Chain A
Amino acid sequence: MADQISRRKFLSAAAAMSLLAGCESRPATHFLGLMQRWNERVEKAMFSPHRLAPELPPSATTPESAFPAYYISDSIPVTPANWTLKVGGLVRQPIILTLAKMQKMPRTDMRVQHHCVEGWSAVASWHGVRLSEVAKMVGVDPRVRFVEFKSFDSDYWSSWDLGSAMHPQTLLAYGFNNGPLYAEHGAPLRLYSAVKLGYKMVKYLTEINFLPNQTGGYWENQGYEWFAGV
Protein backbone atom coordinates (compact mmCIF):
# COMPACT_ATOMS: atom_id res chain seq x y z
CA MET A 1 0.00 0.00 0.00
CA ALA A 2 2.76 2.44 0.94
CA ASP A 3 4.37 1.44 -2.31
CA GLN A 4 1.28 2.46 -4.26
CA ILE A 5 1.01 5.82 -2.56
CA SER A 6 4.66 6.62 -3.10
CA ARG A 7 4.34 5.66 -6.73
CA ARG A 8 1.36 7.94 -7.22
CA LYS A 9 3.18 10.80 -5.56
CA PHE A 10 6.26 10.13 -7.61
CA LEU A 11 4.40 10.00 -10.87
CA SER A 12 2.32 13.12 -10.29
CA ALA A 13 5.42 15.05 -9.23
CA ALA A 14 7.11 13.70 -12.30
CA ALA A 15 4.25 14.83 -14.53
CA ALA A 16 4.57 18.35 -13.14
CA MET A 17 8.29 18.27 -13.83
CA SER A 18 7.73 17.26 -17.43
CA LEU A 19 5.64 20.39 -17.92
CA LEU A 20 8.48 22.41 -16.45
CA ALA A 21 10.96 20.69 -18.73
CA GLY A 22 8.73 21.54 -21.67
CA CYS A 23 8.80 25.24 -20.78
CA GLU A 24 12.53 25.18 -20.25
CA SER A 25 13.65 24.14 -23.66
CA ARG A 26 11.40 23.95 -26.68
CA PRO A 27 14.08 22.71 -29.11
CA ALA A 28 14.82 19.78 -26.78
CA THR A 29 11.12 18.91 -26.53
CA HIS A 30 10.80 19.16 -30.31
CA PHE A 31 13.84 16.92 -30.81
CA LEU A 32 12.57 14.33 -28.33
CA GLY A 33 9.12 14.34 -29.98
CA LEU A 34 10.71 13.73 -33.36
CA MET A 35 12.80 10.86 -32.02
CA GLN A 36 9.81 9.41 -30.22
CA ARG A 37 7.80 9.28 -33.47
CA TRP A 38 10.75 7.58 -35.14
CA ASN A 39 11.05 5.10 -32.28
CA GLU A 40 7.34 4.34 -32.49
CA ARG A 41 7.76 3.39 -36.15
CA VAL A 42 10.69 1.14 -35.24
CA GLU A 43 8.71 -0.44 -32.40
CA LYS A 44 5.80 -1.17 -34.75
CA ALA A 45 8.20 -2.67 -37.28
CA MET A 46 9.81 -4.85 -34.60
CA PHE A 47 6.47 -6.19 -33.40
CA SER A 48 5.49 -9.53 -34.85
CA PRO A 49 1.83 -10.59 -34.41
CA HIS A 50 2.96 -14.21 -34.35
CA ARG A 51 5.96 -14.07 -32.01
CA LEU A 52 5.00 -15.50 -28.64
CA ALA A 53 6.45 -14.63 -25.27
CA PRO A 54 7.84 -17.76 -23.60
CA GLU A 55 5.40 -19.49 -21.26
CA LEU A 56 7.00 -20.03 -17.86
CA PRO A 57 6.87 -22.96 -15.42
CA PRO A 58 4.81 -22.70 -12.18
CA SER A 59 8.07 -22.38 -10.21
CA ALA A 60 8.69 -18.98 -11.83
CA THR A 61 5.57 -17.49 -10.21
CA THR A 62 6.17 -14.37 -8.13
CA PRO A 63 4.86 -14.57 -4.53
CA GLU A 64 1.44 -12.89 -4.72
CA SER A 65 2.26 -10.37 -2.00
CA ALA A 66 5.29 -9.24 -4.02
CA PHE A 67 3.33 -8.65 -7.23
CA PRO A 68 2.70 -4.88 -7.28
CA ALA A 69 -0.85 -3.65 -7.80
CA TYR A 70 -1.28 -0.13 -9.12
CA TYR A 71 -4.35 2.02 -9.69
CA ILE A 72 -4.76 5.76 -9.97
CA SER A 73 -7.77 6.13 -7.64
CA ASP A 74 -7.12 6.92 -3.97
CA SER A 75 -8.27 3.47 -2.89
CA ILE A 76 -8.90 0.15 -4.62
CA PRO A 77 -11.67 0.82 -7.18
CA VAL A 78 -14.91 -0.93 -6.24
CA THR A 79 -16.83 -2.79 -8.92
CA PRO A 80 -20.10 -0.98 -9.67
CA ALA A 81 -23.33 -2.93 -9.16
CA ASN A 82 -24.56 -4.55 -12.39
CA TRP A 83 -21.10 -4.32 -13.93
CA THR A 84 -20.94 -5.13 -17.63
CA LEU A 85 -18.41 -4.74 -20.42
CA LYS A 86 -19.52 -2.72 -23.44
CA VAL A 87 -17.83 -3.68 -26.70
CA GLY A 88 -18.43 -1.28 -29.57
CA GLY A 89 -16.95 1.21 -32.01
CA LEU A 90 -16.74 0.39 -35.69
CA VAL A 91 -18.15 -3.13 -35.40
CA ARG A 92 -20.96 -5.04 -37.08
CA GLN A 93 -22.57 -6.14 -33.82
CA PRO A 94 -21.86 -4.14 -30.64
CA ILE A 95 -22.44 -6.23 -27.51
CA ILE A 96 -22.67 -6.00 -23.77
CA LEU A 97 -20.92 -8.81 -21.91
CA THR A 98 -21.38 -10.01 -18.36
CA LEU A 99 -18.71 -11.87 -16.45
CA ALA A 100 -20.78 -15.07 -16.56
CA LYS A 101 -21.01 -14.79 -20.33
CA MET A 102 -17.26 -14.24 -20.64
CA GLN A 103 -16.55 -17.28 -18.49
CA LYS A 104 -18.49 -19.42 -20.95
CA MET A 105 -16.32 -18.28 -23.85
CA PRO A 106 -13.16 -20.24 -24.88
CA ARG A 107 -10.68 -19.83 -22.04
CA THR A 108 -6.97 -19.14 -22.38
CA ASP A 109 -4.42 -19.59 -19.59
CA MET A 110 -0.90 -18.23 -19.71
CA ARG A 111 2.01 -17.75 -17.35
CA VAL A 112 4.29 -15.04 -18.73
CA GLN A 113 6.68 -12.39 -17.52
CA HIS A 114 5.28 -8.96 -16.70
CA HIS A 115 7.42 -5.95 -17.66
CA CYS A 116 6.75 -2.66 -15.92
CA VAL A 117 7.96 0.64 -17.41
CA GLU A 118 9.69 1.19 -14.07
CA GLY A 119 12.03 -1.70 -14.79
CA TRP A 120 10.75 -4.51 -12.60
CA SER A 121 9.50 -7.87 -13.76
CA ALA A 122 7.17 -10.37 -12.13
CA VAL A 123 5.41 -13.56 -13.14
CA ALA A 124 1.81 -14.70 -12.64
CA SER A 125 -0.63 -16.87 -14.51
CA TRP A 126 -3.61 -15.17 -16.06
CA HIS A 127 -6.91 -16.71 -17.15
CA GLY A 128 -9.44 -15.24 -19.50
CA VAL A 129 -10.65 -14.80 -23.06
CA ARG A 130 -8.48 -13.74 -25.96
CA LEU A 131 -9.44 -10.27 -27.12
CA SER A 132 -9.31 -11.66 -30.66
CA GLU A 133 -12.24 -13.98 -29.72
CA VAL A 134 -14.32 -10.98 -28.69
CA ALA A 135 -13.29 -9.17 -31.89
CA LYS A 136 -14.56 -12.14 -33.92
CA MET A 137 -17.86 -12.01 -32.04
CA VAL A 138 -18.52 -8.35 -32.79
CA GLY A 139 -17.13 -8.30 -36.35
CA VAL A 140 -14.49 -5.61 -36.65
CA ASP A 141 -14.75 -3.18 -39.57
CA PRO A 142 -11.74 -3.16 -41.95
CA ARG A 143 -11.21 0.56 -41.21
CA VAL A 144 -10.37 -0.21 -37.58
CA ARG A 145 -6.69 0.36 -36.68
CA PHE A 146 -6.88 0.91 -32.91
CA VAL A 147 -8.60 -0.41 -29.82
CA GLU A 148 -9.53 1.77 -26.88
CA PHE A 149 -9.94 0.47 -23.33
CA LYS A 150 -11.85 2.38 -20.63
CA SER A 151 -12.14 1.64 -16.92
CA PHE A 152 -13.86 2.63 -13.70
CA ASP A 153 -10.49 3.46 -12.08
CA SER A 154 -10.99 7.26 -12.14
CA ASP A 155 -11.37 7.15 -15.94
CA TYR A 156 -7.99 5.51 -16.51
CA TRP A 157 -7.81 4.53 -20.14
CA SER A 158 -5.46 3.49 -22.90
CA SER A 159 -5.51 2.73 -26.61
CA TRP A 160 -3.62 0.09 -28.56
CA ASP A 161 -2.61 -0.76 -32.10
CA LEU A 162 -4.92 -3.44 -33.48
CA GLY A 163 -2.02 -5.86 -34.10
CA SER A 164 -0.98 -6.05 -30.44
CA ALA A 165 -4.63 -6.22 -29.34
CA MET A 166 -5.23 -9.25 -31.58
CA HIS A 167 -2.05 -11.04 -30.42
CA PRO A 168 -2.82 -14.55 -29.10
CA GLN A 169 -1.30 -13.56 -25.73
CA THR A 170 -3.58 -10.56 -25.23
CA LEU A 171 -6.41 -11.54 -22.89
CA LEU A 172 -9.41 -10.10 -21.15
CA ALA A 173 -8.47 -11.70 -17.84
CA TYR A 174 -10.85 -12.61 -15.05
CA GLY A 175 -8.48 -15.01 -13.26
CA PHE A 176 -5.10 -14.72 -11.53
CA ASN A 177 -2.89 -17.61 -10.33
CA ASN A 178 -5.64 -20.23 -10.65
CA GLY A 179 -8.17 -18.16 -8.69
CA PRO A 180 -10.40 -15.20 -9.34
CA LEU A 181 -8.83 -11.85 -10.14
CA TYR A 182 -8.13 -9.81 -6.99
CA ALA A 183 -9.66 -6.36 -6.67
CA GLU A 184 -6.21 -4.73 -6.57
CA HIS A 185 -5.25 -6.49 -9.81
CA GLY A 186 -8.24 -5.12 -11.73
CA ALA A 187 -11.33 -7.22 -10.88
CA PRO A 188 -13.73 -8.06 -12.29
CA LEU A 189 -12.01 -7.87 -15.69
CA ARG A 190 -8.72 -6.46 -16.91
CA LEU A 191 -6.62 -6.39 -20.01
CA TYR A 192 -3.51 -8.55 -19.76
CA SER A 193 -0.85 -9.06 -22.41
CA ALA A 194 2.62 -10.49 -22.81
CA VAL A 195 3.55 -7.94 -25.49
CA LYS A 196 3.03 -4.58 -23.75
CA LEU A 197 4.39 -2.69 -20.75
CA GLY A 198 2.19 -2.80 -17.65
CA TYR A 199 0.60 0.63 -17.98
CA LYS A 200 -1.01 -0.39 -21.29
CA MET A 201 -2.94 -3.21 -19.59
CA VAL A 202 -6.05 -1.40 -18.42
CA LYS A 203 -7.63 -2.82 -15.25
CA TYR A 204 -11.25 -2.48 -14.07
CA LEU A 205 -12.49 -2.58 -17.68
CA THR A 206 -15.85 -1.07 -18.57
CA GLU A 207 -15.63 -0.47 -22.28
CA ILE A 208 -13.74 -1.59 -25.38
CA ASN A 209 -14.01 0.35 -28.64
CA PHE A 210 -12.62 -0.65 -32.03
CA LEU A 211 -11.68 2.64 -33.69
CA PRO A 212 -10.10 4.02 -36.87
CA ASN A 213 -8.05 6.55 -34.90
CA GLN A 214 -5.79 6.55 -31.87
CA THR A 215 -7.17 8.02 -28.66
CA GLY A 216 -4.10 8.31 -26.40
CA GLY A 217 -4.21 7.19 -22.81
CA TYR A 218 -3.81 8.28 -19.19
CA TRP A 219 -0.01 7.98 -18.97
CA GLU A 220 0.48 8.34 -22.72
CA ASN A 221 -1.06 11.83 -22.65
CA GLN A 222 1.35 12.81 -19.88
CA GLY A 223 4.41 11.85 -21.88
CA TYR A 224 4.89 8.07 -21.66
CA GLU A 225 5.31 6.42 -25.05
CA TRP A 226 2.11 5.26 -26.66
CA PHE A 227 3.22 2.02 -28.35
CA ALA A 228 5.09 0.63 -25.32
CA GLY A 229 5.62 -2.85 -26.72
CA VAL A 230 8.09 -5.27 -25.19
Chain B
Amino acid sequence: MYSNSISAPQKGKTDLVIARDSTIDEFAGRQQQPLLIRLCHWFNVMFLAVMAGSGLQILTAYPALGPRGEQYSWYPFQNVAPPSWLRIGGWLAGGRHWHFAIAWFFVTNGLIYLCNFFASGEWRRRLFRPRRDALNAVHQFVYYLGIRKSPPPEDFYNGLQRLSYSGVLLLGVLMVLSGLAIYKPVQLHLLTLVFGGYDGARVVHLVGLCLFGIFVLIHLVLVSSHPRALLAMITGGRSG
Protein backbone atom coordinates (compact mmCIF):
# COMPACT_ATOMS: atom_id res chain seq x y z
CA MET B 1 0.00 0.00 0.00
CA TYR B 2 1.12 3.48 -0.95
CA SER B 3 0.32 5.00 2.43
CA ASN B 4 2.10 2.44 4.60
CA SER B 5 5.49 2.53 2.99
CA ILE B 6 6.04 6.27 2.86
CA SER B 7 7.63 7.82 5.89
CA ALA B 8 5.99 11.18 5.40
CA PRO B 9 4.83 13.45 8.21
CA GLN B 10 1.50 12.48 9.71
CA LYS B 11 -0.54 15.20 8.00
CA GLY B 12 0.83 14.46 4.56
CA LYS B 13 0.17 10.80 5.14
CA THR B 14 -3.51 11.44 5.75
CA ASP B 15 -3.74 13.42 2.50
CA LEU B 16 -2.16 10.57 0.61
CA VAL B 17 -4.64 8.05 1.96
CA ILE B 18 -7.58 10.24 0.98
CA ALA B 19 -6.21 10.86 -2.50
CA ARG B 20 -5.60 7.19 -3.03
CA ASP B 21 -9.05 6.10 -1.84
CA SER B 22 -10.95 8.58 -4.00
CA THR B 23 -8.81 7.47 -6.95
CA ILE B 24 -9.84 3.89 -6.42
CA ASP B 25 -13.53 4.80 -6.35
CA GLU B 26 -13.39 7.01 -9.38
CA PHE B 27 -11.50 4.64 -11.65
CA ALA B 28 -13.20 1.42 -10.59
CA GLY B 29 -13.99 -0.60 -13.71
CA ARG B 30 -12.05 1.73 -15.99
CA GLN B 31 -9.21 0.37 -18.10
CA GLN B 32 -5.65 1.48 -17.41
CA GLN B 33 -5.47 3.05 -20.87
CA PRO B 34 -8.97 3.81 -22.15
CA LEU B 35 -9.53 3.62 -25.91
CA LEU B 36 -9.43 7.37 -26.56
CA ILE B 37 -6.10 7.71 -24.76
CA ARG B 38 -4.63 4.80 -26.73
CA LEU B 39 -5.80 6.30 -30.01
CA CYS B 40 -4.37 9.71 -29.14
CA HIS B 41 -1.11 8.10 -28.06
CA TRP B 42 -0.53 6.16 -31.29
CA PHE B 43 -1.67 8.98 -33.56
CA ASN B 44 0.70 11.23 -31.63
CA VAL B 45 3.57 8.81 -32.30
CA MET B 46 2.99 9.22 -36.05
CA PHE B 47 2.41 12.97 -35.99
CA LEU B 48 5.34 13.68 -33.69
CA ALA B 49 7.66 11.62 -35.91
CA VAL B 50 6.65 13.61 -39.00
CA MET B 51 6.89 16.93 -37.14
CA ALA B 52 10.38 16.07 -35.91
CA GLY B 53 11.63 14.79 -39.27
CA SER B 54 10.23 17.69 -41.27
CA GLY B 55 11.46 20.11 -38.61
CA LEU B 56 14.98 18.79 -39.02
CA GLN B 57 14.61 19.17 -42.81
CA ILE B 58 13.70 22.83 -42.27
CA LEU B 59 16.61 23.27 -39.86
CA THR B 60 18.96 21.92 -42.55
CA ALA B 61 18.47 25.04 -44.70
CA TYR B 62 20.10 27.14 -41.95
CA PRO B 63 21.44 24.75 -39.31
CA ALA B 64 22.50 27.56 -37.01
CA LEU B 65 21.08 29.53 -34.11
CA GLY B 66 21.23 33.28 -33.77
CA PRO B 67 20.77 36.04 -36.34
CA ARG B 68 23.14 36.54 -39.27
CA GLY B 69 26.43 37.98 -38.11
CA GLU B 70 25.70 37.10 -34.46
CA GLN B 71 25.35 33.35 -34.30
CA TYR B 72 25.18 32.20 -30.69
CA SER B 73 28.59 31.05 -29.47
CA TRP B 74 27.11 28.69 -26.86
CA TYR B 75 25.42 26.48 -29.46
CA PRO B 76 27.78 23.55 -30.12
CA PHE B 77 26.27 22.45 -33.48
CA GLN B 78 26.57 25.76 -35.33
CA ASN B 79 26.27 25.10 -39.12
CA VAL B 80 26.07 21.33 -38.61
CA ALA B 81 23.17 19.86 -40.59
CA PRO B 82 21.15 17.04 -39.00
CA PRO B 83 21.75 13.62 -40.64
CA SER B 84 19.71 13.05 -43.79
CA TRP B 85 18.13 9.81 -42.52
CA LEU B 86 16.36 11.81 -39.81
CA ARG B 87 14.79 14.26 -42.27
CA ILE B 88 11.39 14.17 -43.96
CA GLY B 89 10.38 16.12 -47.06
CA GLY B 90 13.50 15.90 -49.25
CA TRP B 91 14.09 19.65 -49.50
CA LEU B 92 13.21 22.84 -47.68
CA ALA B 93 9.82 23.41 -49.36
CA GLY B 94 8.93 19.73 -48.90
CA GLY B 95 9.87 19.86 -45.22
CA ARG B 96 7.77 23.00 -44.75
CA HIS B 97 4.76 21.45 -46.47
CA TRP B 98 4.90 18.37 -44.25
CA HIS B 99 5.52 20.44 -41.12
CA PHE B 100 2.65 22.89 -41.67
CA ALA B 101 0.28 20.15 -42.85
CA ILE B 102 0.82 17.69 -39.99
CA ALA B 103 0.95 20.52 -37.43
CA TRP B 104 -2.86 20.75 -37.68
CA PHE B 105 -3.23 17.04 -36.92
CA PHE B 106 -0.67 17.19 -34.12
CA VAL B 107 -2.48 20.11 -32.47
CA THR B 108 -5.97 18.66 -32.98
CA ASN B 109 -4.91 15.32 -31.54
CA GLY B 110 -3.30 17.10 -28.58
CA LEU B 111 -6.45 19.15 -27.95
CA ILE B 112 -8.64 16.02 -28.06
CA TYR B 113 -6.28 14.39 -25.56
CA LEU B 114 -6.31 17.40 -23.23
CA CYS B 115 -10.11 17.83 -23.36
CA ASN B 116 -10.52 14.17 -22.48
CA PHE B 117 -7.76 14.44 -19.89
CA PHE B 118 -9.75 16.97 -17.89
CA ALA B 119 -13.35 16.03 -18.78
CA SER B 120 -12.96 12.35 -17.92
CA GLY B 121 -11.13 12.96 -14.67
CA GLU B 122 -8.11 11.05 -15.99
CA TRP B 123 -5.97 13.98 -14.91
CA ARG B 124 -6.47 12.92 -11.28
CA ARG B 125 -4.44 9.77 -11.74
CA ARG B 126 -2.04 11.17 -14.38
CA LEU B 127 -1.22 14.80 -13.64
CA PHE B 128 1.87 15.50 -11.55
CA ARG B 129 0.81 17.13 -8.31
CA PRO B 130 3.84 18.15 -6.26
CA ARG B 131 2.36 17.45 -2.82
CA ARG B 132 1.38 13.94 -3.82
CA ASP B 133 4.14 13.07 -6.27
CA ALA B 134 7.32 15.08 -5.68
CA LEU B 135 8.86 12.91 -2.96
CA ASN B 136 7.85 9.73 -4.75
CA ALA B 137 9.43 11.03 -7.96
CA VAL B 138 12.71 11.68 -6.13
CA HIS B 139 12.67 8.19 -4.62
CA GLN B 140 11.97 6.63 -8.01
CA PHE B 141 14.83 8.59 -9.54
CA VAL B 142 17.21 7.53 -6.78
CA TYR B 143 16.08 3.93 -7.34
CA TYR B 144 16.87 4.20 -11.09
CA LEU B 145 20.32 5.52 -10.18
CA GLY B 146 20.85 2.29 -8.24
CA ILE B 147 21.28 4.06 -4.91
CA ARG B 148 17.94 2.92 -3.51
CA LYS B 149 17.43 -0.84 -3.49
CA SER B 150 13.65 -1.00 -3.90
CA PRO B 151 11.32 1.23 -5.93
CA PRO B 152 8.98 3.50 -4.01
CA PRO B 153 5.36 2.36 -3.91
CA GLU B 154 3.25 3.30 -6.88
CA ASP B 155 -0.47 3.34 -7.38
CA PHE B 156 -1.46 4.03 -10.98
CA TYR B 157 1.82 5.72 -11.93
CA ASN B 158 4.83 6.54 -9.80
CA GLY B 159 5.74 10.16 -9.17
CA LEU B 160 8.46 10.21 -11.79
CA GLN B 161 6.09 8.89 -14.45
CA ARG B 162 3.58 11.59 -13.56
CA LEU B 163 6.32 14.20 -13.71
CA SER B 164 7.54 13.12 -17.15
CA TYR B 165 4.12 12.53 -18.72
CA SER B 166 2.85 15.87 -17.44
CA GLY B 167 6.08 17.61 -18.41
CA VAL B 168 5.89 16.33 -21.95
CA LEU B 169 2.33 17.68 -22.28
CA LEU B 170 3.61 21.08 -21.24
CA LEU B 171 6.48 20.69 -23.69
CA GLY B 172 3.95 20.02 -26.46
CA VAL B 173 2.17 23.28 -25.67
CA LEU B 174 5.50 25.11 -25.64
CA MET B 175 6.45 23.64 -29.02
CA VAL B 176 3.18 24.72 -30.61
CA LEU B 177 3.53 28.26 -29.24
CA SER B 178 7.20 28.67 -30.18
CA GLY B 179 6.41 27.21 -33.61
CA LEU B 180 3.68 29.80 -34.15
CA ALA B 181 6.11 32.51 -33.06
CA ILE B 182 8.56 31.43 -35.79
CA TYR B 183 5.80 30.96 -38.39
CA LYS B 184 4.32 34.47 -37.96
CA PRO B 185 6.87 36.67 -36.17
CA VAL B 186 5.14 39.86 -37.37
CA GLN B 187 1.44 38.96 -37.18
CA LEU B 188 2.05 37.31 -33.76
CA HIS B 189 4.89 39.54 -32.68
CA LEU B 190 3.79 39.75 -29.03
CA LEU B 191 3.98 35.96 -28.83
CA THR B 192 7.36 36.06 -30.55
CA LEU B 193 8.50 38.65 -28.02
CA VAL B 194 7.61 36.25 -25.18
CA PHE B 195 10.20 33.83 -26.59
CA GLY B 196 12.83 36.56 -26.86
CA GLY B 197 12.15 37.35 -30.51
CA TYR B 198 12.34 35.27 -33.68
CA ASP B 199 15.78 33.81 -32.99
CA GLY B 200 14.87 33.13 -29.37
CA ALA B 201 11.79 31.22 -30.53
CA ARG B 202 14.00 29.13 -32.84
CA VAL B 203 16.18 28.25 -29.85
CA VAL B 204 13.16 27.23 -27.77
CA HIS B 205 11.77 25.21 -30.68
CA LEU B 206 15.03 23.30 -31.23
CA VAL B 207 15.76 22.74 -27.53
CA GLY B 208 12.16 21.53 -27.23
CA LEU B 209 12.78 19.04 -30.03
CA CYS B 210 15.86 17.74 -28.20
CA LEU B 211 13.79 17.35 -25.02
CA PHE B 212 11.15 15.43 -26.99
CA GLY B 213 13.95 13.22 -28.31
CA ILE B 214 15.33 12.56 -24.81
CA PHE B 215 11.83 11.83 -23.52
CA VAL B 216 11.17 9.35 -26.33
CA LEU B 217 14.49 7.56 -25.79
CA ILE B 218 13.98 7.14 -22.05
CA HIS B 219 10.33 6.21 -22.61
CA LEU B 220 11.34 3.45 -25.05
CA VAL B 221 14.02 2.06 -22.72
CA LEU B 222 11.67 1.97 -19.73
CA VAL B 223 8.74 0.58 -21.70
CA SER B 224 10.92 -2.20 -23.07
CA SER B 225 11.69 -3.22 -19.50
CA HIS B 226 7.99 -3.06 -18.54
CA PRO B 227 6.27 -4.90 -21.41
CA ARG B 228 2.96 -4.89 -19.55
CA ALA B 229 2.84 -1.09 -19.83
CA LEU B 230 3.30 -1.40 -23.59
CA LEU B 231 0.60 -4.07 -23.74
CA ALA B 232 -1.75 -1.79 -21.80
CA MET B 233 -1.23 0.96 -24.37
CA ILE B 234 -2.36 -1.54 -27.05
CA THR B 235 -5.15 -3.52 -25.40
CA GLY B 236 -6.16 -1.09 -22.68
CA GLY B 237 -4.93 -3.30 -19.84
CA ARG B 238 -6.84 -4.53 -16.88
CA SER B 239 -9.75 -2.62 -15.43
CA GLY B 240 -8.91 -0.98 -12.12
- CA distance in complex: A38, B187 (Å): 18
Say whether A222 faces chain B, with CB atoms less than 8 Å apart. yes
Quick check: A17 and B91 within 8 Å, CB to CB? yes
- CA distance in complex: A36, B59 (Å): 20
Choose from A13, A20, A35, A123 the contact partner of B101 (Cβ within 8 Å).
A35
Quick check: B67 and A39 within 8 Å, CB to CB? no
Choose from A20, A65, A121, A219 the contact partner of B199 (Cβ within 8 Å).
A121
Give chain A's interface residue range (CB within 8 Å of chain B). Answer: 35 or more
Quick check: B91 and A116 within 8 Å, CB to CB? no
User: Which residue of A has the minimal Cβ distance to B63?
Assistant: A119
Quick check: B61 and A117 within 8 Å, CB to CB? yes
Quick check: A62 and B90 within 8 Å, CB to CB? no
- CA distance in complex: A11, B185 (Å): 24
Quick check: A117 and B104 within 8 Å, CB to CB? no
Quick check: B186 and A17 within 8 Å, CB to CB? no
Q: Which residues of A contact B97 (CB under 8 A)?
A: 32, 35-36, 223, 225
Main secondary structure of the interface of B (DSSP, over half): helix
Quick check: A51 and B186 within 8 Å, CB to CB? yes
Give chain B's interface residue range (CB within 8 Å of chain A). Answer: 20 to 34
Q: Which residues of A contact B209 (CB under 8 A)?
A: none
Q: Which residues of B contact A63 (CB under 8 A)?
A: 69
Quick check: A118 and B62 within 8 Å, CB to CB? yes
Choose from A20, A119, A121, A195 the contact partner of B90 (Cβ within 8 Å).
A20
Q: What are the interface flags for A109-125 relative to B under an 8 Å C-beta threshold, 1 for contact and 0 otherwise?
A: 00001011111111100
Quick check: B90 and A21 within 8 Å, CB to CB? yes
Shortest distance in angstroms between B65's beta carbon and chain A's nearest beta carbon?
9
Choose from B67, B69, B184 the contact partner of A230 (Cβ within 8 Å).
B184
A122-B58 contact, Cβ under 8 Å, with A117-B92, A225-B96, A230-B186: no
Tell me the chain B residues, 14-60 only, with Cβ under 8 Å from chain A: 58-59
Give me the interface of B with A, judged by CB distance under 8 Å: 58-59, 61-62, 64, 67-70, 89-94, 96-98, 100-101, 104, 184-189, 197-199, 202
